[in-house]
Amino acid sequence: MVTGVPAAVAASPYVELSREQWRDLRKNTPLTLTEEELEELRGVEDPIDLAEVTDIYLPLTRLLNLHFTGARQRGAAVSAFLGERSAPPPYVLGLAGSVAVGKSTTARLLHTLLARWPEHPNVELITTDSFLYPNRVLAERGIMDRKGFPESYDRRALVRFVAEVKAGAPEVTAPVYSHLEYDIVPGATQTVRRPDILIVEGLNVLQPAPPTSLAVCDYFDFSIYVDARVEDIRHWYVERFHKLRRTAFSDPKSYFRHIAELPEDEATRFAREVWREINERNLVENIAPTRGRAGLVLHKGPDHSVQKVRLRRS
Ligand SMILES: Nc1ncnc2c1ncn2[C@@H]1O[C@H](COP(=O)(O)OP(=O)(O)O)[C@@H](O)[C@H]1O
Ligand SMILES: CC(C)(COP(=O)(O)O)[C@@H](O)C(=O)NCCC(=O)O
């Protein structure tokens, strides 16, 4: 095979690119973040490095910018046909993957990088945890240990939210979930105001719709699945748990404040159990089976660096 040419995956709509092949597709996309800005963006939680931004995320924003432009042109063609002069609808980008695979980190980076393009300065981000049922409802239904499974979400409210944004509503509001309190915050809302791009990040955003209704992914212009080996994700989950134990869990408002006082080995045991009984099950049963629906799959190695990219051609 000629090197540099992406491999077509046998009997699959994807082309597979190595990290190097993908990196070269950055072409002349300018570097839009300095080391200082990256520092500001990553905060204490995200030790993402600049090479990862330049090699992986800049080519990705170039692809998304081209795709966005194509979607706008298609929208304009339909408007011309209808003789309308309406504003173009927001471009909706879905971002899926396991708990702890790095979805929030990827979403935050894309948010910042995409907003630097003149064609789409107004980027909004919503995470599907906003549409989890409050703990009271989960407890009433006996599914407190199923948080993150499809049935723990108010899926109709989520679909309605994205449908309204996509329809160009001037203001659409969503509830707010607090990871600290491990619950929906009563009365709190966030508002999305006609963005150029809406990023919808969550475990189950690629789940197909039940018969006779629509799913949130029916409104996506493009979608990304963040992938890694289960053993690596488990390790990141436990590592993040310990990091949180030293920081957020010691807050008196934290749902997990009792964990901050546990000895290290007991906390590890607890984190592994939550991983195994909730998050890994959800990954295997519900999340991983949706990977083949994504427009792009980013496959990470054990150090979080993206090693392989699969891009759907059709
Ligand atoms: N590119 C990266 N480089 C280094 N660490 C990362 C990267 N992406 C995520 N992480 C770390 O992995 C853990 C899980 O990432 P996070 O974005 O919180 O996952 P999710 O939103 O999928 O639950 C966090 O501790 C985060 O800091
Ligand atoms: C809040 C989550 C369900 C993720 O929600 P998402 O925004 O992906 O819809 C997840 O982070 C979570 O809390 N899972 C429950 C098990 C656990 O505590 O790890």
Q: Known binder of ligand: residue 83?
A: no
For the cut 70, the answer to whether the pLDDT of residue 151 exceeds it is yes
CA of 204 to the centre of ligand 2 (A): 11
pLDDT score, position 45: 59
Q: What is the pLDDT of residues 78-98, one digit of tens each?
A: 999 999 888 899 999 999 999
Judged by DSSP in three states, 107 sits in: helix
pLDDT score, position 10: 63
For the cut 80, the answer to whether the pLDDT of residue 284 exceeds it is yes
CA of 23 to the centre of ligand 1 (A): 21
Closest residue to atom 24 of ligand 1, CA basis: 240
What residue ranges in the chain does DSSP mark as E strands? 7-8, 14-18, 91-97, 123-127, 172-178, 183-192, 197-201, 222-227, 296-300, 306-312
CA of 211 to the centre of ligand 1 (A): 35
**What ipTM did this prediction achieve?**
0.94
What is the atom index within ligand 2 of the atom nearest the CA of 203? 8
Domain ranges of the chain: 28-312
Amino acid at 114: L
For the cut 50, the answer to whether the pLDDT of residue 44 exceeds it is no
Q: Known binder of ligand: residue 104?
A: yes
Q: What is the pLDDT of residues 201-214, one digit of tens each?
A: 999 999 999 888 99
Q: Known binder of ligand: residue 101?
A: yes
The alpha carbons of the chain give a radius of gyration, in whole angstroms, of 20
Give the mean pLDDT of 258-262: 89
Pocket of ligand 2 contains residue 147 by CB under 6 Å: yes
Nearest to 117 by CA among 70, 50, 65, 56: 65
Between vectors from CA 67 to CA 301 and to CA 110, what angle results, nearest 5°?
45
pLDDT score, position 54: 87
CA of 19 to the centre of ligand 1 (A): 19
pLDDT score, position 8: 63
Amino acid at 200: V
Cα–Cα distance, 293 to 286 (Å, whole number) = 13
Whole-prediction pTM: 0.94
Q: Known binder of ligand: residue 94?
A: no
Q: Known binder of ligand: residue 152?
A: no
pLDDT score, position 247: 87
For the cut 50, the answer to whether the pLDDT of residue 114 exceeds it is yes
Hey, which of 19, 204, 236, 298 would you mutate to test ligand 1's pocket, going by the most ligand atoms within 8 Å of its Cβ?
Answer: 236
How is domain 28-312 classified at the CATH fold level? Rossmann fold (3.40.50)
Closest residue to atom 8 of ligand 2, CA basis: 202
What is the number of the ligand closest to the CA of 240? 1
Cα–Cα distance, 258 to 254 (Å, whole number) = 9
**DSSP string computed for 203-228:** TTTTPPPPTTS--GGGG-SEEEEEE-
CB hemisphere CA count around 264 (13 angstroms): 2
Q: Which residue has the higher pLDDT, 210 or 195?
A: 195
Closest residue to atom 3 of ligand 2, CA basis: 148
Give the confidence band of 39 by pLDDT, cuts at 50, 70, 90: confident
pLDDT score, position 5: 59
What is the atom index within ligand 2 of the atom nearest the CA of 152? 3
For the cut 90, the answer to whether the pLDDT of residue 260 exceeds it is no
Give the confidence band of 246 by pLDDT, cuts at 50, 70, 90: confident
Q: Known binder of ligand: residue 79?
A: no
Cα–Cα distance, 171 to 124 (Å, whole number) = 12
Give the mean pLDDT of 169-198: 97
Q: What is the mean pLDDT of the chain?
A: 92
Q: What is the pLDDT of residues 217-238, one digit of tens each?
A: 999 999 999 999 999 999 999 9
Which residues are paired to 223 by β-bridges? 94
For the cut 60, the answer to whether the pLDDT of residue 43 exceeds it is no
Give the confidence band of 2 by pLDDT, cuts at 50, 70, 90: very low
Give the mean pLDDT of 278-290: 98
Give the mean pLDDT of 120-143: 98
